[in-house]
Structure 1
Amino acid sequence: MKSDINFSYLIFLSVVAALGGFLFGYDAAVISGTISQVTTQFQLDQIQTGWFVGCALVGSIVGVLFAGQLSDRYGRKITMLIAAMFFSVSGIGCAFTGSFDQLVVARILGGVGIGVVSIVSPLYISEISVAHYRGRLVSLYQLAVTLGFLGAYLANYQLLHLSQSGVEVGSGWIHTILVSEVWRGMLGLSSVPALLFFFVVLFIPESPRWLVLRCRNDKALDVFQKIYLHGQDAQAQLNETVSVVQSENKSDWKFLFQPGIFKAVMIGAAIAILGQFMGVNAVLYYGPSIFEEAGLSGGDALFSQVLVGLVNAVTTVIAVFIIDKVGRKKLVYYGVSGMVLSLLLIGFYFRFSASLGLPNSFLLFFFLLYVFCCAISISAVIFVLLSEMYPTRIRGMAMSIAGFALWVGTYLVGQLTPWMLQNLTPAGTFLLFALMCVPYMLIVWKLIPETTGKSLEEIERYWMKK
Structure 2
Amino acid sequence: MKKYTILIAAVAAIGGLLFGFDTAVIAGTLPALRSFFKLDDAAIGLVVAAASIGCIPGALFAGNLANRYGRKLMMLVTAVLYVIAAVGSGIAGSFEQLVAYRFIGGLAIGMASTLAPIYISEVAPAEFRGRLGMSQQLAIVLGILLAFISNYVIDSAGWSFLSPENTWRYMLAAAVIPSVIFFVLLLLVPESPRWLIQRERHEHAHRIFGRIYEPSKAKDELESVKADLASSGHGLRFMEIFSAKYRKVVLIGVVFAAIAQLTGINIIFYYAPLIFEKTHVGGSVLFQTVLTGVVNLIFTIVAFWLIDRLGRKKLLLIGSAVMGICMMVVGVLFYTDKLDSYLVLAAIFVYIAAFACTWGAVLWVYVAEIFSNKIRGSATSFAIFGNWTANAIVSWTFPIMLNGLGAPVTFFTYGVINFLMIVFVAKYVFETKGVALEKVEALYERL
Shared fold, TM over 0.5: yes
Match in the other structure for 1:361: 342
For residues 430 and 95 of structure 1, what CA distance do their matches in structure 2 show? 33
- Matches for 1:14-33 after TM superposition, within 5 Å: 14-33=9-28
Residue 121 of structure 2: which of 123, 126, 135 is its match?
Answer: 126
Contact 1:260 1:463 in 2 (8 A): no
What is the deviation of 1:304? 3.5
Deviations 1:88-134 (A, max 9, x none): 12223334455554444332221211111011011111110011111
Instruction: Name 1:34's counterpart in structure 2.
Output: 29
Q: Does the 8 Å contact 1:123/1:387 carry over to 2? A: yes
Matching residue of 2:361: 380
Which residue identity is paired with 2:141?
A: T
Partner of 1:81: 76
Q: Does the 8 A contact of 1:252 with 1:394 survive in 2?
A: no
Contact 2:62–2:114, Cα closer than 8 Å, also in 1: yes
C-alpha distance 181-318 of structure 1, shift in aligned 2 (>3 A): same
**Separation in 2 of the partners of 1:399 and 1:106?**
25
Cα distance in 1 between the residues matched to 2:420 and 2:174:
40
Matched residue, 2:100: 105
The aligned counterpart of 1:436 is: 417
Aligned position for 2:62? 67
Distance 1:200 1:179, change over 3 A: farther
Q: Which of 203, 227, 234 pairs up with 1:218?
A: 203
The Cα shift of 1:228 comes to 0.7
Tell me whether 1:256 sits opposite 2:241 in the alignment: yes
Q: Which amino acid aligns with 1:421?
A: L
Question: What's the CA shift string for 1:123-176, capped at 9, x where partnerless?
Answer: 1111100111111111111111111111112222323334x343xxxxxxxx58
Matched, 1:137 2:132: yes
Cα distance 1:54–1:346, how it changes in 2: closer, same or farther (>3 A)?
closer
Q: Is the 8 A contact 1:213 1:392 kept in 2?
A: no
Task: Give the conservation status (yes or no) of the 8 Å contact 2:45–2:397.
Answer: no
Conserved in 2, the CA contact under 8 Å of 1:15 and 1:140? yes
Q: Match of 1:203, SS?
A: coil
Spell out the pairing of 1:278-317 with structure 2 (5 A cutoff). 278-296=263-281, 299=283, 301-317=285-301
CA distance in 2, matches of 1:414, 1:96: 24
- What percentage of aligned pairs have identical amino acids? 36
Is the Cα contact below 8 Å between 1:72 and 1:395 reproduced in 2? Answer: no
Structure 1 stretch 425-434 or stretch 268-277: which is displaced more? 425-434
Following superposition, the deviation at residue 254 of structure 1 comes to 5.6
4+ residue segments displaced more than 6 Å: none
* 2:426 aligned partner, one-letter code: W
Aligned counterpart for 1:150 among listed residues 134, 145, 151: 145
Aligned equivalent of 1:205, options 178, 186, 190:
190
Question: 1:302: Cα distance to partner?
Answer: 4.3
Q: 5 Å matches for 1:258-273?
A: 258-273=243-258
| Structure 2 partner of 1:319 | 303
- Structure-2 separation of matches of 1:33 and 1:310: 16
Q: Is the 8 A contact 2:27 2:273 kept in 1?
A: no
Deviation track 1:168-190 (CA, whole Å, cap 9, x = no partner) reads xxxxxxx58x9973433322221
What displacement does 1:311 show?
A: 0.8
Q: Does the aligned pair in 1 maintain the 2:281–2:340 contact within 8 Å?
A: no
Where does 1:412-451 land on structure 2 (aligned, <5 Å)?
412-451=393-432
**SS of residue in 1 equivalent to 2:307:** helix
Is 1:228 matched up with 2:213?
Answer: yes
- Is the 2:13–2:136 contact (alpha carbons within 8 Å) kept by the matching residues of 1? yes
Q: In terms of Rg, which structure is larger? A: 1
Stretches of structure 2 lacking an aligned partner (at least 5 in a row): none
Matching residue of 1:245: 229
Cross-structure match for 1:188: 173
State the distance in 1 between where 2:104 and 2:137 align: 22
Equivalent of 2:352 in 371, 374, 385: 371
1:409 aligns with 2:401: no
Change (3 A) 1:303 1:454: same
Moved more, 217-226 or 182-191: 182-191
> How many correspondences in the alignment?
446
> How far, CA to CA, are the matches of 1:27 and 1:267 in structure 2?
28
Q: Does the C-alpha gap of structure 1 residues 323 and 34 become closer, same or farther in structure 2, counting only changes over 3 Å?
A: same
CA contact (8 A) 1:420 1:429 kept: yes
- 1:346-402 superposed Cα distances (whole Å, 9 cap, x missing partner): 333334466xxx961222222211111111101110111001011222212112211
CA contact (8 A) 2:57 2:110 kept: yes
Task: Give secondary structure in 2 for the equivalent of 1:454.
Answer: coil
CA deviations 1:277-308 (Å, max 9, x no partner) are 222122223334334444446x4554443322
Q: 3-state SS of the aligned residue for 1:286? A: helix
2:200 alignment partner, SS class: coil
Q: Tell me the TM-score normalised to structure 2 length.
A: 0.91
Sort the Cα spacing of 1:405 and 1:292 in 2 relative to 1 into closer, same or farther, 3 A.
Answer: same
TM-aligned CA deviation for residue 50 of structure 1: 4.5
Residue 217 of structure 1 and its aligned partner are, at CA, apart by: 1.6
- The structure with higher relative contact order (CA 8 Å, sep 6+) is 2
Give the superposed CA RMSD: 2.6
Q: Which ranges in structure 1 are unaligned for 5 or more consecutive residues?
A: 167-174
Aligned twin of 2:332: 348
